Chain A
Amino acid sequence: MNRKKGNKAVRFGPALKAVLICVVTCGLGLGYVWQKQQINSLGQQIKENEIKLEELRRENKRRGDNLAYLMSPQELDTRLRQLNQDLMVPRPEQIVVLQEQREPAPQSPMVGTDPLRTASR
Chain B
Amino acid sequence: MEDNGKSLQRSAKRWLYCFGVIMLLSFSLLGYRLVDLQVIRHAQLSDAARGNTVRTIVREPRRGNILDARGNLLATSLFVKTICADPGLIGPYGPQLAAALAPHLELEQAWIASKLEPKLFQGDAGQMRTNRYVVLKRKVPREKWEEISADLKELDLGVDESSLTRKQRQMLTSVRQSIFADRKEDQLRVYPGNRLASHVLGFVGGTDHDGKEGIEAVLDSRLTGTRGWRVTETDSRKREVVSLRHQDVAARNGLNARLTIDLGVQHIVEAELDQAMEHHQPQGVTAVVVRPATGEILAMANRPDFNPNRPGEFPAANRRNRAVTDTAEPGSTFKAVTVAGALNERLVSLQSRFDCENGIFYHGGRSLRDHHPYDRLSVMEIITKSSNIGSAKVAMLLGEGHLHHYIRRFGFGERTRVSLPGEVSGTVHPLKRWNKLSITRVPMGHEVATTPIQMVMMASAIANGGKLMRPMLLRQLEDETGRVVVQYHPEAVRQVVTPETARRVTMALKTVVEPGGTARRAALEYYSVAGKTGTAQKAGRGGYIPGKYYSSFVGFFPADKPALCIYVALDEPTGDYYGGLTAAPIFKAIAERSASYLGIKPDLVEQGSMVSNNEGP
Contact = CB atoms under 8 A, between A and B. Distances in A.
Nearest to A90: B596
Contact of A74 (B242, B267, B601, B605): B267
B514 interface: no
Given A92-B605, A99-B612, A65 B243 contact: no
Contact of A92 (B267, B596, B610, B613): B596
A47 B248 CA distance: 13
- Contact size range, A: 20 to 34
Contact of A97 (B243, B267, B608): B608
Interface residues of B, number: 33
Contact of B72 (A73, A89, A96): A73
A34 interface: no
A86 to B, nearest CB: 15
Main secondary structure on chain A at its contact with chain B?
A: helix
A68 B192 contact: yes
Contacts of B593: 89
B79 interface: yes
Interface stretch (A1-9, A18-26, A38-46, A113-121): A38-46
Contacts of B142: 58
B193 A74 contact: yes
A96 B73 contact: no
B611 A99 contact: yes
Interface string A70-85: 0111100100000000
Contact of A96 (B240, B608, B613): B608
Contact of B612 (A47, A93, A100): A100
A72 B374 CA distance: 51
Given A47-B242, A72-B192, A89-B596, A101 B611 contact: yes
Contacts of B613: 101
A65 B192 contact: yes
Given A44-B242, A65-B76, A73 B611 contact: no
B499 interface: no
Contacts of A110: none
A44 B190 CA distance: 34
Contacts of A17: none
A39 B610 contact: no
Contacts of A72: 72-73, 192-193, 263
B351 interface: no
B612 A101 contact: yes
A10 interface: no
B242 A43 contact: yes
17 contacts: A43-B242, A46-B242, A58-B79, A58-B142, A65-B73, A65-B190, A69-B192, A72-B192, A74-B267, A89-B596, A91-B596, A92-B525, A93-B526, A97-B607, A99-B612, A101-B611, A101-B614
